[in-house]
């Protein structure tokens, strides 16, 4: 027997891309229309662990943690699919965010979300308007 440590092969960690992503990619595509990001951007953010993927049966949510000088927030970056399922997923995401030190949830999206979010306890915080040059 030798005093040498056995040679250990380094095994890379599994890819952070969830196995459900391919199944649910189509429900997120509509939410990207007219925006600043492509599906490749979303995949890269997930692969690099800059974003989190929350799969449901017929819905999916992509979040990103934002750190500000005086706050840490989880931002819902993308959501699509069955609305009831998206709303049912929210409490679990909010709990996870608290464990990460987040004190705020930010949801940026189309104005159609306003009524649904109001019913879930969210209030308008800001309004984003843009002009394409």
pTM of the predicted model as reported, rounded to 2 decimal places = 0.80
In this predicted structure, what is the pLDDT of residue 53?
93
Q: Which of the four pLDDT bands, split at 50, 70 and 90, describes residue 13?
A: very low
Q: How is 93-132 classified by DSSP, letter by letter?
A: HHHHHHHTT--EEEE---TTHHHHHHTTT-----------
Q: Which H or E element spans position 90?
A: helix 83-99
66-87 tens-digit pLDDT: 999 999 999 998 999 999 999 9
Q: For the residues 98-126, what does the mean pLDDT come to?
A: 87
**Cα–Cα distance measured from residue 73 to residue 98, given in angstroms and rounded to the nearest whole number:** 9
Distances from the Cα of 85 to the Cαs of 41, 57, 58, in angstroms? 24, 8, 7
Q: Please report, for the chain, the start and end positions of each structural domain, with discontinuous segments joined by +.
A: 21-118
Domain covering 21-118 in this structure, CATH number: 3.40.630.30
**Cα–Cα distance measured from residue 123 to residue 110, given in angstroms and rounded to the nearest whole number:** 14
């Amino acid at each position: 027997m030798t005093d040498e440590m056995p040679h250990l092969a380094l095994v890379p960690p599994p890819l952070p891309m969830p196995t459900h992503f391919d199944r649910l990619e189509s429900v997120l595509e509509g939410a990207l229309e007219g925006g600043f990001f492509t599906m490749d951007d979303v995949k890269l953010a997930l692969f690099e662990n800059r974003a989190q993927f929350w799969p449901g049966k017929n819905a999916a949510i992509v979040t990103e943690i934002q750190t500000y000088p005086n706050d840490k927030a989880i931002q819902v970056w993308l959501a699509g699919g069955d609305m009831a399922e998206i709303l049912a997923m929210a409490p679990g995401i909010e709990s996870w965010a608290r464990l990460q030190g987040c004190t705020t949830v930010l949801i940026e999206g189309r104005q159609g979300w306003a009524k649904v979010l109001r019913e879930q306890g969210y209030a308008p915080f800001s309004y984003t308007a843009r002009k394409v040059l």
